[in-house]
Structure 1
Amino acid sequence: MPDESAALEAPNDPDPKKAPPQIINLPIGTIVGKKYKITHKLGEGGCGSVYKVEDTEDKTPYAMKVEFAATDSGNVLKMEVQVLTMMSSKKHVARCVASGKKKEYSYMVMTLLGESLDSIVRKHGPFLNVSSQMRIGICVLFGIKQLHDIGYLHRDLKPANVALGYKGSADERFFLVLDFGLARQFITEKQDGKKMRRPREKALFRGTARYCSVAMHDRYEQGRVDDLWSLVYMLAELRCQLPWEDVDKKDDIGNMKRVCPDSDLFAKSPVQMLEFVKIVRNTQFYHRPEYDKLYKLLEEVMINAGYKWSDLYHWESEKNKENKVAKLSKLFVGKKGATTPTKDSAEGYDPNAPPYFTVEDFTSNPLGF
């Protein structure tokens, strides 16, 4: 959960028959799970509250999500615990370190993250430079693929659900996908192996109208490609105002998405983004997305322009440039033509470490379909 900058996100289409969940207010100093001490409240939303906590044994800071334990509640947090647990062996993801259920509430303790992309854009936007746009795109594309590789869809990708790693952590310069409360499994596991679930004829609206696919506006079942459509709109918005910026009605937004030319959507973006959206548009429900081709397009922009992962982001102060460069020189390998940082080792800087992201990260296919 982002540190200081974001509260829990509420589902955008809650069931009107259900009573809204009760907000939990736990006193500062409360110890949960016998070792996590609440230091202060970070925020709250329709799904519960979130706190910054500290491990009483080693003083490690974490985020703790709390959800009221009432009838028909707990599904959002339960799903998030399930997804994070399944992704525990993967890189560049938040970790669920503890979870539990008490009489009044359920809770989950997880990795504390840095500032959300939504918060960054609000402070330093509305538009970011291309170098930042490309790096954000690669990170989020990788996060999407990681989730798809375990058989789940996110269904609510947006800037508020993407955040930098916590300052001082190995991921502090990279964006992680978070908030899996609306995730849905798109595979079934039977004796004859894993298969895709058959799509429902109609599905309830899930996600955020500003970033969801046209298929979701039409209430069709979401597939892997629908998460990629959310990425398309997120990346477009980093450089140019979305045409439906000030439109509230879902149907009106959907209609505008149908007629909006790709050239308008990416008017301020590199030309490679037109091919990017073309690939997404040609991806059908049952298709495995061509993550590697999408990655190569973003990487091509970085290589052609000479962008590097060690470059300052758009929002970083120039007065700290010298200190940043000195610090980053210990973390990144300056290979000719390299556009990705290297993995940090416990022993320190390793000049022979492989690139942080490679095309292999986007070509692996553990599901087989």
Structure 2
Amino acid sequence: MSQMLDVIEHVHDKGILHCDIKPRNFVFGSQSEGKGGRLHLVDFGLSRPWIDPKTGKPFPEELNVSFRGTLHLASRNVHLGHTPSRRDDIVSIAYTLVKLLTGTLPWGEAETQDEVLPILYAHTGSTLCQGYDDVFAQFVDYACSLQYDETPKYQHWRQAFLRLVPGLSPNAAFDPEDDSEPRVGVQKNENGDHRLPCEDCPKAPVYFVSDPFQRCVYGGESRSSKGGKGGFVPNWGSSWSCGTPIRPEDVFGDEFAVVKESLEFIDAPPDYCDGPCAYEGMAPPEVIKNAQSDLHRI
């Protein structure tokens, strides 16, 4: 959460509003580039300036402005046609936080603005974040109370969220392997103790296989320092569960041999290495390199 506030403060300092804050627009940097665990904001297709370059001041607030954003993550003011401002990016971060905490939003099934607004107005931070640390509900209520041209208190809320994990460095990078306490973002029981809403998902077993083709399927060392299976960085914001490799004993027959054999009949890229050219400068005829067709040249 602190990194979300870091990145949106930087964007706002440049005079830009993102206008489409949502989970899928936050991504972690690549481990191979030394940026693993650092959060980045992407997709500025709906962004707009909030500072008028002629006056150096915020654009005046207007009404009947066209909707700009994602239906379920947009603020009340954006739904009502107000000019977007920094407050609306902060509200979208708050709703993103709720979605990541709870897995859904109460208005998540609504299909139109008319359906979203009554549900949106019926909820406060307390109802959206019931059972979680108070700071989450407080942040939602704060975001929704911001005025049009008010400067958000980025640093205040960074510190508030950091206090949930005593001793955590402000510059700490996200570590998907860290299972240590305290567990931030899980509900509390009646005694005020943190508890997981469900049992911990066991880590997928690792099966070492020597065959290169099977290693592509199994992913080799699935929990490498590079991220997920096969070195891919997992999408931790996804609602899909982590994949589990298939054990060799669970395979029906020699499925790998069947797939390998089938691959022999897939057209390969054209081969320009031989064959005469019709005239100088013209590419040679393409060559199909398998026996799927009786045609050898086109």
TM-score (norm 1): 0.46
2:232 — aligned with what? none
Residue 78 of structure 2 is aligned with which of 199, 209, 216?
Answer: 216
Contact 2:95 2:140 in 1 (8 A): no
Which amino acid counterpart does residue 59 of structure 2 have in structure 1? Answer: R
Deviation (angstroms), 1:201: 2.3
1:303 is matched with which residue: 166, 178, 181?
A: 166
Where does structure 2 lack aligned partners over 5 or more consecutive residues?
180-200, 206-220, 226-298
Change (3 A) 1:309 1:175: closer
Residue 198 of structure 1 is matched in structure 2 by 60
What's 1:248 paired with? 111
Identity %: 24
Q: Which has the larger radius of gyration?
A: 2
| 4+ runs deviating over 2 angstroms | 304-324
1:267 equivalent in alignment to 2:117: no
The answer as to whether partners of 2:124 and 2:140 remain within 8 angstroms in 1 is no
RMSD: 2.9
1:163–1:176 contact (8 Å) kept in structure 2: yes
Contact conserved, 2:125 with 2:139, CA < 8 A, in 1? no
The match for 1:175 among 39, 64, 84 is 39
The count of aligned residue pairs is: 187
Pair 1:189–1:285, CA change in 2 (3 A): same
5 Å-filtered alignment, 1:121-136, equals none
Mapped to 2, the partners of 1:210 and 1:204 lie a distance apart of: 16
| Letter matched to residue 95 of structure 2 | Y
* Native 8 Å contact 1:276 1:297 kept in 2: no
Q: For 1:114-153, what per-residue CA distance to the aligned partner results, in whole angstroms no more than 9, with x for missing partners?
A: xxxxxxxxxxxxxxxxxxxxxxx22221111111001110
The Cα of 1:302 is off from its aligned counterpart by 2.0
Q: Is the alpha carbon distance of 1:257 and 1:141 closer, same or farther for their aligned partners in structure 2, counting shifts above 3 Å? A: same
8 Å CA contact 1:239–1:268 kept in 2: the answer is no
Q: CA distance change for structure 1 residues 317 and 146 in 2, over 3 Å: closer, same or farther?
A: farther
1:1-369 map, 5 Å: 137-190=1-54, 194-240=56-102, 241-303=104-166, 309=173, 311=175, 312=177, 317=203, 324=225
Q: CA shift at 1:298, angstroms? A: 1.1
Q: Which amino acid aligns with 1:232?
A: A
Question: Does the 8 Å CA contact 2:162/2:168 hold for their aligned counterparts?
Answer: no
**Does the CA-based 8 Å contact 2:25-2:43 persist in structure 1?**
yes
Amino acid at match of 1:212: A
The 3-state SS of whatever aligns with 2:57 is strand
Letter in 2 for 1:205: F
Q: TM-score, normalised by structure 2?
A: 0.56
Q: Secondary structure at the match of 1:297?
A: helix
- For structure 1, which segment, 306-315 or 250-259, has the greater mean C-alpha deviation from structure 2 after superposition? 306-315
Cα distance in 2 for partners of 1:282, 1:264 equals 16
Cα gap change, 1:200 to 1:237, in 2 (>3 Å):
same
Structure 2 CA distance for partners of 1:152 and 1:274, relative to 1, 3 Å: same
CA deviation string 1:290-311 (max 9, x = no partner):
1111111111112279996464
State the Cα deviation string for residues 88-119 of structure 1 (Å, max 9, x = none): xxxxxxxxxxxxxxxxxxxxxxxxxxxxxxxx
